[in-house]
Structure formats: C-alpha cells, structure tokens
Amino acid sequence: LALNGKIREVGDKILASNGKEVDFASALESCEEAGGTLATPMNEEENKAILDIVKQYNRYAYLGIKEGETSGQFNYINGMPLNYTKWYQYEPNGKGTEKCVEMYTDGSWKDRKCNLYRLTICEF
C-alpha cells in the first residue's frame, strides 16, 4: 500500500487510501491484506476524516457497512448494528438490491450495488 501522504489520523484509527477504485469485495480484500479493514465511520469526527480523503481524490468511496439479512437494515462489516449514520435524504432506498454503502463528496451516505468501482479507503 503506497501511501504518499494519503494518511489521516482520527482518534485511535489511521485511515489510508491507495487511490484505487475497485468493487466492494476487492476493496475489502486489499484492506484486510494490509492488516486493516474498510474505513467505517463510528462518529462525526471519523466521518469527516474519511470525507477528507474522498474530497482529496474527488471520488465516492465504499464504507465498511453492509446490508444484513433484513432488507433495509445495515450493519458494520463485523455484523454489529450501526451506532452512527449519515444517510443522504431518503436513503437507504435499495431494499435488498443495494447491499453496500458509499460516501458522497459531501460526507453523506447512499446504499449502492457492490459491483461498482469506488475509492478504497482502509482503516487501521
């Protein structure tokens, strides 16, 4: 993971991006191979730090959040329920067809299909 100054520290997390745009599974895999996971905002401060990287590249990014067994109910990748959300107005609206979550360049979230190419941002 070549970092070239693309690192943000927030709380006890370190966020980093390799600048690559890949599908959700590949993004998650590359983060896990590097010893981390996909960036997952747990509060406003972390959401802003991820947004800094999103803005730097001007690309939407996948977050470490996925729709669970229940349609419309999203959880962290580890299966824990969300304790912080920043959904865009009228989101999530995919009703089981959009199982992944992306961050817009304004910091809000939208549910999306998992096969789109989005910026990889990892947390460690």
Cα–Cα distance measured from residue 32 to residue 39, given in angstroms and rounded to the nearest whole number: 11
Q: Tell me the pLDDT of the chain (124 aa) as tens digits.
A: 555 557 889 999 999 998 999 999 999 999 999 999 999 999 999 999 999 999 999 999 999 999 998 888 999 999 999 999 999 999 999 988 999 999 999 999 999 999 999 999 999 9
Tokens representing 84 are 């912080």
In this structure, whether the domain defined by 6-123 belongs to CATH 3.40.50.300 is answered with no
Q: Which bin fits 92, alpha (ψ -120 to 50), beta or left (φ > 0)?
A: beta
- pTM score, whole prediction: 0.92
Could you tell me the residue ranges of all domains in the chain?
6-123
Report the pLDDT value the prediction gives residue 69, as an integer from 0 to 100: 87
